[in-house]
Amino acid sequence: MNKLPKIGIPIVIIAIAVIIILFKSAVDIDSGEAGVLFRPFDGGVVTDEPPLREGFNIIAPWNRVTIYEVRQQEVSEKMQVLSSNGLEIKLDASIWFQPQYDKLGSLHQEKGVDYVSRVLQPAIRSAARSVVGRYTPEQLYSSKRDAIQEEIFVETKEILKNQYVQLNEVLVRDVTLPATIKDAIERKLRQEQESLEYEFRIEKAEKEAKKQIIEAQGKADANQILSASLTDKILQDKGIEATNRLSESPNSKVVIIGGGDKGLPIILGNQ
């Protein structure tokens, strides 16, 4: 009976050691994540092997794993940059990105877990300053917002080309100009709109006047042609035709032959 405790103590110690080893060896990686393995006795960070995938993983108890989110992520940036004429512009943008999965070990080794603040944010700020500096406030306010969004994306992607970060999209949510500049631009745009409206009304009036001139000229030409074609003989023939039609009418009348001008008949009603 006295020997049982002495035998039991080593067993308990071994069991505890096994539990600790198993605990240190088991790594559970959640969905959308991956693990970078660190081998302290075999070269440090593993960069020549794929990262540990999501799920249950077994490693040597003396090794360590750093877990990264590998899904698409978003970071918002509010920046103050200068336009081409030196005015301060506030830019509000969103950046969609994710670490390059097959380069996760190199990212961890060279940039670290805070790679967003070390790499991504400086890159987007640099690109934004470069792009906005090529445009005037008027261009940024009106028609160039989509253009600068695309240019910032292209320049940021170029900066991140060898930084193990995949840039998916840059979205410019807002461009804020100084209040005085914004008011001046809006006044200018209103004046331009009013000027265009005035020019449109003038052009419309000119077209209407030309139309009336053409119609009047057409009527004048028609009357001139008609007058030239109406000879005395034609008028007499037309008068005789009209007299015949009236004489056939059932209404009572008196027809005086040869009593009118040029010998045309005179038709008297029943008054």
CA–CA distance, 182 with 137 (Å, rounded to integer):
8
The H-or-E segment that residue 27 falls in is: strand 26-29
pLDDT average, residue stretch 141-149: 77
Q: What is the pLDDT of residue 207?
A: 83
pLDDT average, residue stretch 82-91: 84
Residue 192: half-sphere exposure toward Cβ, Cα within 13 Å? 6
Residue 125 sits in the same domain as residue 191? no
Residue 85 sits in the same domain as residue 165? yes
Residue 85 sits in the same domain as residue 160? yes
Q: What is the pLDDT of residue 247?
A: 64
Residue 128 sits in the same domain as residue 195? no
Of the listed ranges 3-7, 12-16, 34-38, the least confidently predicted one is: 3-7
Q: What mean pLDDT, rounded, does the chain reach?
A: 79
Residue 204 sits in the same domain as residue 151? no
- Residues 88-129 pLDDT 10s: 888 899 999 999 999 999 999 999 999 999 999 999 999 999
Q: Which of 97, 100, 77, 94 is nearest to 167 (CA)?
A: 97
Contacts 24+ apart (CB under 8 A), 178-187: 178/87, 178/88, 181/87, 181/137, 182/141, 185/137, 185/138, 185/141, 185/142
> Do the strands 73-82 and 44-45 form a parallel or antiparallel pair, or are they unpaired?
unpaired
The count of other CB atoms within 10 Å of the CB of residue 163 is: 20
Residue 60 sits in the same domain as residue 92? no
Residue 157 sits in the same domain as residue 225? no
Residue 165 sits in the same domain as residue 236? no
pLDDT level of residue 143 (50, 70, 90 thresholds): low
The distance of Cα 223 from the centroid of its chain, to the nearest Å, equals 60
Query: Using CA atoms in the order 135, 136, 138, 140, what is the torsion angle rounded to 10 degrees?
Result: 30
Among 43, 69, 95, the domain boundary falls at 69
Which domain range does residue 239 map to? 232-268
Angle at 89 between CA 86 and CA 95, to 5 degrees: 130
Give the domain CATH number at 140: 3.30.479.30
110 assigned to some structural domain: yes
Report whether 46 contacts 39 (CB < 8 A): yes
182 assigned to some structural domain: no
pLDDT average, residue stretch 73-81: 92
Residue 77 sits in the same domain as residue 170? yes
- Residues 228-237 pLDDT 10s: 665 666 656 6
Asked whether residue 250 carries a pLDDT value surpassing 90, the answer given is no
Residue 57 sits in the same domain as residue 117? no
The pair of structure tokens assigned to 12 is 């308990």
Residue 119 sits in the same domain as residue 155? yes
pTM above 0.75, yes or no: no
CA–CA distance, 47 with 36 (Å, rounded to integer):
8
Q: What is the pLDDT of residue 150?
A: 92
Report whether 178 contacts 87 (CB < 8 A): yes
> Do the strands 254-256 and 266-268 form a parallel or antiparallel pair, or are they unpaired?
antiparallel
